[in-house]
Every structure is written in C-alpha cells, then in structure tokens.
Amino acid sequence: SIFDRGFTYGDGLFETMRSYDGTIFALDLHLERLVGSAKIIGISLRQSKKYFSNILHNTLKTNGLTNGNAYVKLIITRGLDCGRIIPSKSLKPTIAIVARPLEVKKVKHYQQKGMGAVFLSNKIRSIPQIKSLNLMANITGLIEANQRRMQEGIFTHADKILEGAITNIFISDGKSLKTPPIKDGILAGVTRRLVIELAKKQGIKIVEISLTMEDLKNSAEAFLTNSIMEIVPLVKIEKKLIDHGLPGILTRRLQQAYKQTLLKQVIP
C-alpha cells in the first residue's frame, strides 16, 4: 500500500544476507540483530525466528535459488498507517522478502584486487546502530564516491572514521587489527562480528578502538566487510595507495579462514 509507513516515512528495518546453495549464511545472527533493532524503534514482532527462517528458505526454494549464490533481503516496516507521523497504535508490521540471483563476478574481482574509498563530506547516518530503511546518507554517499571514481565512501565524525556506506572497516599495522567500536556510532555488522571471532581463533590480536583518518591513510593494510562481499581489501583511500595498492597478508589470511567457515557451515 502507498500508505505503508515504510514507503511514506522509511519507517522500518532490513537485513541483507547471502545464500550459498540454498543456505543463508549467519542467518541466526542476522535475525538476532533484526529482532533487537525492532525493539529499539518499537516495532512489535510476534513472529518467531523459526518463522522468519522458514519463509526465507521457502522464498529461495519457490524462486529456484537453492543452487548457486543468491542475494536475500528481509524488510520489516511498521505497517499500514493512514495517520500522522507519530505511529497509530496496534499496527501490524509488513514483511517483505527480496531474493534474486547474485552475480559474483564483480564480488570476486573486488575480493582479489581490492577497492578504493573516499572520505565522505558532511553525511551522518540516522540511528547508525540499526539497519533502518532511512538510507539517504548511504545513498548520497555512494553517489559521491562514484562521482569521485571510487567504490566506497567512508563516514567520518570529528576526524574519526566510522564505517563505509555499505561496509565496516578494519585496519592493520601488519601484525594486529583495529576496527572502530560500536560506541562511536556504527552498525554492528554481522560479517564484522564474524571476522573479529575469526581473528581471535587465528591468534591475531584485534582491538575495537577509535580510529582517525590518518590512521587509515597510514595503515599497513586495510579491508572492508559486509555480508555480500564478505572480506574485500581496501587498497586506496582518497589519492593514497595502501601498501602499494596490494591486498595485505592478514586480509588474505582472514579471507581464507572465512571461506573455510563457509565450507563447514553451508556447503554439504
């Protein structure tokens, strides 16, 4: 309906996930974040995580997406409401699912060769800790990055780097890893969380700490994470190459560890 609050006000949430041969990777973590985010903004979800799991997998099956890679997006809005900006009481949330084949050629290119980014000018995400449907800052940020011939834009605040328009950020001195903390106002990315766990299992020291633009520019290596691209080397920031524009050793090591996790969890 045109009166759905997701359409009229961007009043809703979403999770973007990747399916491998019909299995959605880290689904429990995505649903955990979705339910938690719904509570933060006061959307009452009566459905169980099992319900969401079933309808997601049924959507993949119905659309013939149980083989190969698929992009899956689960959208929740506050629901149909003909009232004012303040929500009416007892609204029934709208649930929508988008599932389509994922073209992995470009993803694999970025994973192997890396991508570039720019610092964004005067763009702040609203309620950054949830995946809100209000993505205007992200959209205009990616447009700006594109116009400057880069693939990603980095949100900053008072010289701190926060996150990318569609990614989380990690930097390294060649021996250990650092990533901005949640308290700085970033989204708690599912892949970010998995990478932190993988790094610890690999014996790589990792610290969640505030980082500056200079920290990123002077890093020995850096990479970006999200559920679709997994782990992608960041090889250029603004006009400066990071480590001669080549993917770093820790980046490659964690890419391999991530693939091994996928093999264990989603591939029969």
- Decide if pLDDT at 129 tops 90: no
User: Closest Cα to residue 206, out of 235, 236, 237, 180?
Assistant: 180
Q: Are strands 230-237 and 240-241 parallel, antiparallel or unpaired?
A: antiparallel
- Decide if pLDDT at 125 tops 90: no
**Average pLDDT estimate for 180-197:** 96
Percent of the chain at pLDDT above 90?
88
- pLDDT band at residue 121, thresholds of 50, 70 and 90? confident
**Average pLDDT estimate for 191-196:** 98
pLDDT, one tens digit per residue, over 203-225 is: 999 999 999 999 999 999 999 99
pLDDT, one tens digit per residue, over 78-112 is: 999 988 899 998 899 999 999 999 999 999 999 99
| Structure-block tokens of residue 76 | 């929740």
pLDDT, one tens digit per residue, over 15-54 is: 999 999 999 999 999 999 999 999 999 999 999 999 999 9
- pLDDT band at residue 266, thresholds of 50, 70 and 90? confident
- Decide if pLDDT at 267 tops 90: no
- Decide if pLDDT at 126 tops 80: no
User: Closest Cα to residue 87, out of 2, 8, 13?
Assistant: 8
> What local confidence, expressed as pLDDT, does residue 13 receive?
97
| Structure-block tokens of residue 102 | 């994922």
Contact 247, 231 (CB under 8 A): no
| Structure-block tokens of residue 43 | 């959307």
User: Closest Cα to residue 220, out of 192, 251, 248?
Assistant: 248
- pLDDT band at residue 268, thresholds of 50, 70 and 90? low
- pLDDT band at residue 199, thresholds of 50, 70 and 90? very high
- Decide if pLDDT at 147 tops 90: yes
| CA–CA distance, 95 with 231 (Å, rounded to integer) | 29
Give the burial string for 147-179 (b: 16+ CB within 10 Å, else e): eeebbbbbbbeeebbbbbbbbbbbbbeeeebbb
User: Closest Cα to residue 18, out of 267, 229, 259, 257?
Assistant: 229
- pLDDT band at residue 132, thresholds of 50, 70 and 90? very high
- Integer angstrom CA distances of residue 263 from 25, 138, 256: 11, 32, 11
3-state class of 146 per DSSP?
helix
